[in-house]
Structures are given as structure tokens and as C-alpha cells.
Structure 1
Amino acid sequence: MAPLHTCQTHPRAAFNRLHFLLYSSAIAALFYRHIAGFSASAAPSSLLLLLADAIFAIFWIFCQGLRWLPLRRREFPSRLPQVTGGQGLPALDVFICTADPFKEPPASVASTALSVMAYDYPADRLSVYVSDDGGSELTLFAFMEAAKFARHWLPFCREKGVMVRSPEAYFESNGGGEAEKMKAMFEDFREKVESAVNKGHVDLSMIDSPEEKAMFAKWKGFARRDHPSVVKVLCESNKDKDIAGHPLPNLIYMSREKRPSSPHHFKAGALNSLIRVSEVMTNAPVFLILDCDMYSNDPNTVQRALCYLLDPDLAPNFAYVQFPQKYRGINTDDIYGGENRRLFLTSPRGFDGQHGCNFFGTGGFFSRRSLYGPPATAPPPSDCESKAGVLLRSEHVLQKAHDAASCKFEHVKEWGSKIGFRYGSLVEDYYTGYILRCEGWQAVFCNPDRPAFLGDAPKTLHESLSQAKRWVVGFYEVGFSRYSPLFYGIKKTTLLAALCNLHHSFWGLPGIGLIVYGLLPQLFLFYDKPLFPKASDPWFFLYAYLFVAAYAHDFIEYIEFGGSFWKWWNDQRMFLIRGATAYAFGTLEFVLNRIGVSAPGFNVTSKSQEEEENKLYDNGMFAFGKSTPFFISLGTIATVNLISLIYGLTKAARTAGAADEMFLQLLLCGFVAANSWPVYKAMFVRKDGGRIPRNVTNTSILLACTFFYAGKVII
């Protein structure tokens, strides 16, 4: 039998291993220099620099697990019939989570659902579940209208061979001719939904059915964090058909029960409710998890995933197929590093070489049985057989579904600890994928030429940094848990796999080193004190090699996926910005939480953008515009480097030998200042709404001056 997929070691593996040999030797030499010059009376500055270098070295070692054996895979969906025979394709459940109709526009969420309802897949084997953790009548109303629109949209996609099956995305670039009528229908749908969102409630005059009017009337008493479970079947394959007479996929709206006395565990809790409700209603052996803004970009993606899920050699221990997160609407040079290529493209290939890719929280096709325990104790495949033909609207089924979405059901079994998505971290996706691999499950990374899904990246700097800070806190929660990769993971997996997991669990660690290197050498330059070897010293070439080799290797990895120089430059700039903001504040928030001091918790990343912010982003201009600690930290470091650079260059021009003695510190200040150019413009030049507020600029300058004044203590 011809294979359903192939796997090759990426050619870069050999280069990565050579780089590891050379670079590790250079790091050893660096620490030899540290130790040789270390004394019991070492100044605080020497200890800080040693700490920063140790952090960078440890994090670099963690990275080697991701670089040792990157893989490239290829799938052959046309060969699936030789595995399925006459039984056909397995049933598929799709889980879409949303939480706030004002940050995640319901019309856009509905477009995501419509894109997967329109998969080239048997409608009687496809079910789409929408979990509304906001318990909002606006979201339910949007999906009731989407169910009506689906009757026209799905036949249109089939007849016209549409590839982009999110109507919102499709009509952004298509119109005219036969598509014009369909576009008008979609605009009517969107206008109706947006009208309700703008009012903040559903006007009963917009609803025709007396039954639905009664339901929305009851909804008026709901509170977001205190309401019973709601399960509403909007389309049922056994009964509902599109305008061409074909059955529609199942479409089910669900809002799990919320009570102030019961913890809800954010997205992990919502996903576990979806697993239980879908088990009662359809029980497909395979389910897809999709973010509400991550629409299907290829109607044949399911068949590609099944090349792994139906492989008889993989099936007994196989958990999930992960597709990369890719984004639309990224501006020309990706100023905020929104593509996150290291996290979503480079790292997963390395993870894949260590018996499993990490899970991103979206774009993952799961074997249902993998969420019920290790391979040896998981339910047999027969327990995950589809409940095709079950009448979803029957009173018996709906009652069981309501029970499964209730708070009390969480206590029946070990949900969140032994089964389902794991609780205890803001990054439930990474945490769950990590635990599954420790239990012995396997996962693969599937990266086809045509992106399987496209979504929206944050298009404001504050949203981007807030998202990264949340990830940092969540990763630490895994790293310092009882299941830490440092102890539990290294026993349950290989050493290289443990390094991969450590890289993610301590993702925010470099922030400490970046702040030290962003402030300490600059302080010493201001006080005319050398911190690094002279340019004429042989040790200078060690520092030069460490910097150039690291950036060159990173540039090669980035360009491999079709990036440009300026995209790479902005990506590395965002790494420095995140280090001074999201990584540092995320680390601080985690520490405060651990010692019992209240700190901000989970926030939904906004998918709705202000018009001016959109314009700035499209024009490649940073949008600051908010008074936030992120920008105070950023402004302070930028100011310190600018002052030190001006002073250092002036000193070098006037004093013989100063340039040679301070060359590395001048170079470092110049590098940070070059990366801070958008910050300087926002502080001192720009007048538009994206500038840094005056109070933030003044605070940053004051803190920078205070730092120079108090810096003598460190020196």
C-alpha cells in the first residue's frame, strides 16, 4: 500500500549541528573569561553581566532541541480511499470558541464557522459547534442568521469552486457578476448582526419566529458569569437542507453554565464542555479546534489531516495534527512581528523531530480518544464511533447536552487534570499538548504550500505585547508546575524533547538578560568605564562572533520561509521590544502571583480595530497612543541608550583611545538606538494619535535621568 505521507530530515539539520559545535565552544570561552576575571569583591555590575550571559546561554541550549532534527512532511490525500475502503471518511466535529462579542465581532466569528461548514466533506459527517463563553444573545443571534445564510453560501461555494470559503474574506477581494447577489446577501446579514451589536442587545422586532422571540426574552435575565447552560441546534443534517437540496452540516450553539461559585478555567473549560456536549450529540472520532478569527483557507484540509489520523501505523498512539498559524492583512514589513515565524513555523518543525509538535490552540485536528488518558488506557476506537442519525433536537439528547455543559459535570470525572484539556495555565493549548506527549501520544506538524487557515494578528503594539505577556505567564505556570519539563518532562520524554519544552516553558526568561544589556553597558559608557574588551583586544573577536553568528543563523532561519530582510529586521526588533516589556512584565506578574500579590489575569485579545490604528498599521507606522507601563519601560530604555550614545560618540571624538576602549559599548548603544527609531519618532516628532503620550515621554525621561544619577551604586 502506498504511504499516505512521507517525512524527511530538513537539510538545515547538518548546518544547525555544526553551528551548535562552534557556538557552544564560543560560549564556553565566554564563561572562561567571566570566571578568570571573577573575584570575591566583584562589583554588582559583574554579577549582573554574568547573570545575563548565563540566562542567554541556558536559553540557547534550550533552543538546540528545536534545531537538532527539523522535519519536512508531505501528504497524499488522493490515497485515502485505499485506507477507508467502502466505509467512507470518518465524522468530524469542529469546535470554535468565542468569549466577547465586542472584542470578537459575531459576524466575523460566524464567517469562520461558515468557512468550515463549507468544507469539501460529507455534510452528514460534519458538525460545527460554537462555544460562546460570553453567554451573549448577540452571538446566538449572529449564528441564527448565519444558519439562514449557509443555505445559500454552501451551494455557491460548491458551484463556483470557491477556495476561500469565509464569506467575509472572500468578498473583500471578490464581487461583480454572479457573486454580486451573494455579496449583497452577506452584507445584509452582516449589517443586521452589526446593528444588534451596536445597540448592545437583540431587538425582538428583528426575529420572526415566536419560539425564538420567547427564548431571547428569557435571555434578558442572563448575566455573563451567572447563567444556566444553553444548547441550541441551528442546523441539523438529518432535517435541514440548502437551496440546492443538499443536507446542511450540523450547526450547534452552546454556552456552558456559569456560576460565580464555580471556576471556569477560561478556554480550557470551554473546550472540555465542547468535548462532553459533542460526545452526547455526535461523538465524531476526530475533532478540529479553531480560533474564532482563524478561517479555513483550503476546503480540502480535512483530507490532508486524515493522512495522519487514519494511518494504521500511527493510529494507536496518535493525538493530533497541527497546522501553522498564518495571517492575512499583515502589513508589508510586518512591523509588529505578527507572523511569529519562530513560534509557528521554525519551532514546530524542530518539535516534530522530537516525536511531536506542540499545540497552538487553533488549527489542530485531534483524535478524540487521546483526551481520555494515555494510549494504554484510552478508550478503544469503538467507543468513539460517530452517532450519525441521532436526532439532535430530541428532548432526550438536548437534556443530556445541557447536563454535559453544566458546572457539576466538571466534578464527575477528573476533567482538566487527567482527561480533557488541562487546567492550571493560561496557555492551555501548549500545556495540554505537552502533557499528551509525556503520556506517550504522538503529534505531527503539517505545513502545506497553501495555508490551511488564515487569521488576524494583533494590529496594535499594545495588543501584541499584552498577548505575549499572557503567553509568558502561562508558560511559566507550566515551567514551575508539578509537571515541569525540567523534572517530569525529562523523565517522560527524551532529553532533546525536554529541551524543546523547556524553551517554551521559560520563553520569557531572555527578558531579564535583555534589560541588563539594554541598561548596564550604557550606564558604564556614560561614566567612562569599560565593560567589554577593547577593539584591539583578541577577546573582542569572541564577542563579535557571538553576536554576528547568532543573528546570521536567525536570519537564515527566517528567510527560509520566504521572509524579507526588513521583515526579519522588524521581527528581531520586536524580540527586543517584547524583552523589555512583555517578557519582563510577564515574569514580574508570575512572581507576584506566586507570592500571593494580585496581578492582572486573562484578557481576550481584541479582534476589532480602531480606524486610525488600522490606517497607521497599513502605512507601516507604530501605534503607541496609550499610557501604559509597557511604553514607559520602552521609552526609558530608548532614552538611556540615546543619551549614552550621544555622550559616548562625543567622548570618542575628543579623547584619544576612547573609541578603541569603548567600541563594543558604543556599538551596542548604536544597535539599540537603531532599533528604537520608531520610539524616538513617537516620543519627540510625531503629532498623530499614534504618538507616545506626553506624560509617558516625560516619565521615561525622568526615569532615565534617575537611573544615571543612581547608577553609581551599580558601578
Structure 2
Amino acid sequence: MSKGYLKATIILDNSKYKDITAHSMPNLIYVSREKCRTSPHHFKAGALNALLRVSATMTNAPTILTLDCDTYSNDSQTSHRALCYLSDPKFRSNLGFVQFTQRFRGINKKDIYACEHKRLYKINPFGMNGLLGPNYLGTWCFFSRRVFFGGPAHLLLLEMPQLGPKNVLDKPIQSQEVLELAHHVAGCNYEKNTTWGLELWVRPIGRVMCRSPCTRLRSLSPYGSLVEDFFTGYQMHCEVWKSILCHPDRAAFYGDAPMNLVDVLNQNKRWSTGDLEVAFSKHSPITHGTRAMGPFMGLAYAHYAFWPIWSIPITTYAFLPQLALLNGFTIFPKVSYPRFLLYVYICIGAYGQDLLDFVLAGGTFHRWWNDQRMWMIRGLSSFLFGTIEFSLKSLGIASHGFNVTSKVLNEDQSKRYEQGSIEFGVSSPLFVPLAMAAIVNLVAFASGNVELIRGSNSLEELFMQMFIASFGILNCKPHYYKK
């Protein structure tokens, strides 16, 4: 017991338990970690950190696999593939981790919530694989234990050498000494006034820290990240560690995707707030990242970090042309003007390239349409609220919260999802700008038609604004019959 919260370690004795083929079962270790009142974001980043220490006391295995709670293995050869990379003399000296592409089972035919995240999980990682390697995606990743203790040429010193990556264990897992040490290092209090908690930058902590070959840089705050996976990969690549993307034909793992809109938007809002924390820190990928990793890798991380800023142009196009249409103003050139061709080229070129990338990555037209619609929806909700939340926190007005994505499904919800019906879930402020956009676009389109009938303006003058309003209505279609 510790501060009123249970802390326990459960070990499976492989000398007693056998599988159906009479082979010994592996040592299954379960750690229940006490809650830490001083850190509201301890449960994921802090739990990973605690498990890293506990595993060091029990096995100190050189390879670590991180998985989400809803993940299950789909290929028995996955570990073999990862170890082939991690053990290869060509890569071993500076290879930090092997990241498998994320795939989900149970996504409906049209992927109405764009849960595949083709760009995040496949297209962009393949591009980064030609540089230092893909970012850590938070799960389905094999790490070298050495990567958590400094750069390839620098190994940090610890108060307890037993936790170091080079420590050799000579005691059985179930010995009293090992169990006592495991209980000690699993606690939140262990990190107080130690290099582990103050200086040692084990990446699951989620600190915005990077290290040059000669200088250690201070962290912004311990356990201060909502996207510890993004920070983890970023920090490792700044340390000159490399990573490899593994994309076998047969999925290595499968996970579950959220099946209602509010869970999807809450998840993306959490990512948005966390991304902006690093984007506007002194270790921003635009400045520090480009110096530490090179311009291309720095810009690749900046693309992720500044994602939520898309809320500004998306919100502008969702409301400004429509409000101008309602007031009888024209803000775009006439169809007959040569400048109009520039808008046509930008629109067709951007959407055409996006569709081509999506289809080449194994997608379909229907899934692409839902993906671009969800991009609009996220821009008006998740990105917008994430940006506001980060801004308020930066001004000291409010601090971010943490919404865990629900993994619990009921039969009716799953059935509606399979039928392709968008389910909003519980009421949420995230839906307010979406509802406003749906109403404004519909009213503006109707008002524009009235203007055309009256002859107040010609179609040549209002075409672009009418087109944008109709496109908004098409994307807002699910909001007109909310379920």
C-alpha cells in the first residue's frame, strides 16, 4: 500500500504454467501503479516510465514493445521482423526503434470517421522513412532499451545502476530483493529529487527536451504532454537516433477505432493541444528541429506540430464567403476574369493530388471523400478548440484536460456504424461551430439563389461563393439529420 492506493506486482511462474503444447508460459508481469496527486497526466506517460524501471529490475531485456490496451497481435512473425532490424550490425549502432504501421479492424466500408488516418499512419511515415525514419505513433513499436538513456554516443549516469541498460541481472525474477526493488521504482515518489525525475529524459515522460552532442537542454515541464508519443519520436530523432517503418503485407497488429463522432473529435482535440505545446516551445521543429535533424526532417515534424493551425483557414472559408453572400457582397473575381482560373487551378490541383495520394495508399474514392469531410469537421471543432485551449493555457487562464477515447461498444452502436450512419454520441461544445457552419451555409446558399432569381447579382459574380456554400452543405449533410 502507498498513500492509500494499491501498488502490486503479479508474476506468472513459468515453471508451473504450461500451454496446450506443454511448453512453459512466459513470465507475465502486471504492475498496478499508485495514483500521483501531483501530476494529473501521470497515467500514460508516467505509467510507461514506471514500467520501464520495473522491467529493468526484473529482466532488463534489450528490446521493449509498446502497445495500446485495445491492440492484439495478428502475425506471429512480428517480433522476428523487428529483431532482424534491431540486431542487424548495419543498423544496430544508431537504430532507436522499429515502428509498424497502424491498422484497424472493424472500420466500415466507407470509413465515415476517417479513422484510418492514411496520411498520419502510412503516407507521411513512408516519406520520413527516407530520412531519419518515421515518428513514434504511440503503439505497435519495438524500442531498443538503450535509446531511453541518451544519444547513441552518450549514456547518462543513474543513482541506481540497476536501472541502466547495461546492467546484467543475476537473480531470479521472484526473488525477494528483485520484488522489493520493483515496488520501490514503480512509485511516483521515486522520481522526486532524482535524475530520473528531474534531468533524465526518458521519453515516455513526454518532456519537450532535446540534446545536442555536447549540451543537455532543460525540459519545459515533467509529464506536461498530451501527445507523449509525438514528443518521444521527436526527441529521439533530435538525438540522432534513427527509426525504421515496417509495413508487412499481413498486418502485424490490429486495433479498435472510435465509432462515434464525439470520441473522434475529443481524441483529435487532445492531439491538437499537445502538438501546439511543442510547436510554440523553444524546441519547435521549425527552429531547433531543423538544426538538430536537418531541414527536411524538421519540416516533417513541423507539419505535425502546426496541424491545428489549419483551423484558421478552414473556419474562414466556412463562414466568411457565406456571410458576404448573405449581405450581397462579392469577394471573388467573376468567372470571366483570368484571375478566376487561378482559383480553379488551386482547387483542382490540391484536391486532385490529395485524391491521388490517398488512392495510391490503398484507399477508395468513398473513403477519400469521408476523409476530406472529416478534415473539415476537425478543422471547425478539434483543431479550433485545441488551438483555443492551448492559447488560454499559455495565457494562464485555463489548463488542458484529458479525455480518454472510449473503447466500449454496444451492439446497436456497432450495427449503426456498419450501416454507415454517423452517430454524434453525447452532447459536446465541439458540435456548436459545426451546427453554426451547417446553418450558415444552407441559409447563404438559399439567399444566393434568391439574389439570382431577383437579378440583383449574376451567377458570374456569385459563382465562387455559391460553389463554396454548396460544398459546405454537401460536407455538412450528416448534421441536417443528427442521430
TM-score with structure 1 setting the length: 0.62
- Aligned pair partner of 1:503 in 303, 312, 317: 303
Partner residue, 1:584: 384
CA RMSD across the alignment? 2.1
The equivalences for 1:117-132 within 5 A come to none
Partner residue, 1:406: 187
Does the CA-based 8 Å contact 2:262-2:425 persist in structure 1? no
The CA distance in 2 between the partners of 1:345 and 1:403, in whole Å, is: 40
Aligned-pair distance for 1:389?
7.4
Aligned-pair distance for 1:409?
2.1
Partner residue, 2:202: 420
Partner residue, 2:115: 338
How many residue pairs match? The answer is 459
Partner residue, 1:87: none
* In the alignment, structure 1 residue 227 sits paired with structure 2 residue 5: yes
Partner residue, 1:467: 267
Partner residue, 2:178: 397
Partner residue, 1:271: 48
- Aligned pair partner of 1:357 in 124, 134, 147: 134
Aligned-pair distance for 1:549?
0.6
Q: Which amino acid aligns with 2:248?
A: P
Partner residue, 1:280: 57
* In the alignment, structure 1 residue 432 sits paired with structure 2 residue 221: no
Q: 1:264 to 1:622 in 2, by over 3 A?
A: closer
Partner residue, 2:221: none
Q: Which amino acid aligns with 2:178?
A: V
The CA distance in 2 between the partners of 1:416 and 1:321, in whole Å, is: 28
- Aligned pair partner of 2:86 in 309, 313, 316: 309
* In the alignment, structure 1 residue 667 sits paired with structure 2 residue 467: yes
Aligned-pair distance for 1:414?
3.3
* In the alignment, structure 1 residue 329 sits paired with structure 2 residue 95: no
Which has the larger Rg? 1
Does the CA-based 8 Å contact 1:285-1:386 persist in structure 2? no
Aligned-pair distance for 1:319?
0.3
Partner residue, 1:257: 34
Does the CA-based 8 Å contact 1:236-1:392 persist in structure 2? no
Does the CA-based 8 Å contact 1:289-1:362 persist in structure 2? yes
Partner residue, 2:214: none
The CA distance in 2 between the partners of 1:487 and 1:248, in whole Å, is: 49
Q: 1:536 to 1:264 in 2, by over 3 A?
A: closer
Partner residue, 1:606: 406
Q: 1:239 to 1:279 in 2, by over 3 A?
A: farther
Write out per-residue CA displacement over residues 126-155 of structure 1, whole angstroms, 9 at most, x where no aligned residue: xxxxxxxxxxxxxxxxxxxxxxxxxxxxxx
The CA distance in 1 between the partners of 2:198 and 2:281, in whole Å, is: 14
The CA distance in 2 between the partners of 1:308 and 1:244, in whole Å, is: 30
- Aligned pair partner of 1:347 in 124, 139, 143: 124
TM-score with structure 2 setting the length: 0.91
Q: 1:328 to 1:417 in 2, by over 3 A?
A: farther
Does the CA-based 8 Å contact 2:451-2:457 persist in structure 1? no
Partner residue, 1:32: none
* In the alignment, structure 1 residue 535 sits paired with structure 2 residue 350: no
Q: 1:666 to 1:620 in 2, by over 3 A?
A: same
* In the alignment, structure 1 residue 441 sits paired with structure 2 residue 241: yes
Partner residue, 2:294: 494
The CA distance in 2 between the partners of 1:558 and 1:378, in whole Å, is: 42
Does the CA-based 8 Å contact 2:390-2:400 persist in structure 1? no
Aligned-pair distance for 1:652?
2.1
The equivalences for 1:20-59 within 5 A come to none
Aligned-pair distance for 1:472?
0.3
Aligned-pair distance for 1:662?
1.1
The CA distance in 1 between the partners of 2:43 and 2:291, in whole Å, is: 29
The CA distance in 1 between the partners of 2:36 and 2:244, in whole Å, is: 38
Q: 1:374 to 1:361 in 2, by over 3 A?
A: same
The CA distance in 2 between the partners of 1:266 and 1:673, in whole Å, is: 41
- Aligned pair partner of 1:569 in 369, 376, 380: 369
Does the CA-based 8 Å contact 1:282-1:386 persist in structure 2? no
Write out per-residue CA displacement over residues 642-695 of structure 1, whole angstroms, 9 at most, x where no aligned residue: 00011112222331761001111111111111111111122xxxxxxx2xxxxx
Provide the secondary structure at the position in 1 that maps to 2:187.
coil
Q: Which amino acid aligns with 1:420?
A: V
Q: 1:246 to 1:507 in 2, by over 3 A?
A: same
Write out per-residue CA displacement over residues 417-475 of structure 1, whole angstroms, 9 at most, x where no aligned residue: 54312333110011011011001100111111111110001101000000000000111
Write out per-residue CA displacement over residues 342-385 of structure 1, whole angstroms, 9 at most, x where no aligned residue: 111111112212212100110110000001001111379x9646
Write out per-residue CA displacement over residues 215-241 of structure 1, whole angstroms, 9 at most, x where no aligned residue: xxx8xxx99xx52532111x1335532
Q: Which amino acid aligns with 1:507?
A: W
Aligned-pair distance for 1:632?
1.6
Write out per-residue CA displacement over residues 330-349 of structure 1, whole angstroms, 9 at most, x where no aligned residue: 01101000111111111111
Q: Which amino acid aligns with 2:201?
A: I
Write out per-residue CA displacement over residues 190-235 of structure 1, whole angstroms, 9 at most, x where no aligned residue: xxxxxxxxxxxxxxxxxxxxxxxxxxxx8xxx99xx52532111x1
